[in-house]
Amino acid sequence: MKRWLILSAIVVVLLVVTVASAVTEIKPGERGVVRRFGRIVATPGPGLYIGLPWGIDRVDRERVSRERRVTVGFDARKAEDDGQKVPEGLLLTGDHNLINIQVVIGYTLEEDEVAKFVLNADRADALIARAAEAALAQWNAGRAVDDVLLFGRGALPDNLPPWMARELDVRLAPYELGIRVKKVDVTLLDPPMEVKSAFDAVAQAKTEINTRVNQAEQEAAGRLRAAEATIFRSERQTAAYRNEQLLQARAEADNFLKRLEQYRQSNDNPQYLAGIWWDEVSRLFSKMRQNGRLDLLDHHLGPNGLDITQIPALPKK
């Protein structure tokens, strides 16, 4: 009896272990790759996968939505540890200057090509790093150090991050890694420490030059607007004065013609001419008073009588 109980317990344990080794849970966002004796037989999606037990089926689960990262280039700690050895990420530019560069490459798995990644997972990061190093060397060798340091992060038409993402996809295609490069972040882009201060001084000087140029352009634009406003105001005033003088001249001409007609109708009456003369004198005195050219004699009476001599002459009001 005890023997049968022991055998039953063993059978139950074997069944549980068999079922446990045959069932695999694939979570949402994951993709499974089933290898049977090393040969890929299935790539199931999220859910329960039931295969052969006891390690006959090996199921690798990979998250296709997770972004994986590979850091390539200069590492200050490694450079200090290596001593005289040329550090990684120390590259030569097109004008024979050295720069330190480090980039972080973000990539994801292609959902339909997860099997390719599983087969190359142990060498995927190394292949990406080597392809990135070659691309960095090519990009830097074709540019001057000023373009690399000042504009390499994003100002050039073919700036480094998007160019490198496209280049890596092309370079990695023959390896069939089943990945897609999503982005490239430039985390370090500096000259070597021995000459960094000199490059920083040059960059600061260029920044000051650009600042002064912008200030000068703004000042010139301000002065141009002020000059245009002055010209516009002068033109308006000139046009207004012209119209005023023209209207006044027409009015005076019309008035003269009317007086002429009245004079002719008066049969050359001398009294009429005297009236015209006094009228014009009154108008002249009125204008002189308005302009400060005519004043009351009472203002010029002193202890010695009337004194109309002014030295210097009175300014025009």
Q: For position 253, what pLDDT does the model report? A: 85
Listed residue (63, 64, 138, 135) closest to 103, CA to CA: 135
The answer to whether the peptide bond before residue 312 is cis (omega within 30 degrees of 0) is yes
Exposed/middle/buried for 151, CB within 10 Å: 0-12, 13-18, 19+?
A: middle
The residue among 197, 192, 186, 201 whose CA lies nearest residue 156 is: 186
What is the secondary structure of 103-168 as a DSSP string? EEEEEEE-GGGHHHHHHHHHHHHHHHHHHHHHHHHHHHHTS-HHHHHHHTTTTSTT-HHHHHHHHH
CA distance 258 to 304: 49
- The rounded distance, in Å, linking the Cα atoms of 24 and 32 is 9
In this prediction, residue 1 has a pLDDT band, given cuts at 50, 70 and 90, of: low
If pLDDT is split at 50, 70 and 90, which confidence band does 7 have?
A: confident
Question: Token pair 């200090």 is at which residue?
Answer: 80
Strand partners, 31: 62
Residue 306 above 90 pLDDT?
A: no
Q: Write the pLDDT tens digit of every residue in 152-209.
A: 766 555 778 888 999 999 999 999 999 999 999 999 988 888 788 887 887 788 889 9
Which phi and psi angles does 241 have, rounded to 5°? -65, -40
3 state SS of 32:
strand
pLDDT at 316 over 60: no
Helix and strand counts by DSSP (H, E) for the chain:
7, 11
DSSP letter (8 states) at residue 304:
T
Residue 298 has pLDDT above 90, yes or no: no
Q: What are phi and psi of 300, to 5 degrees?
A: -110, 10
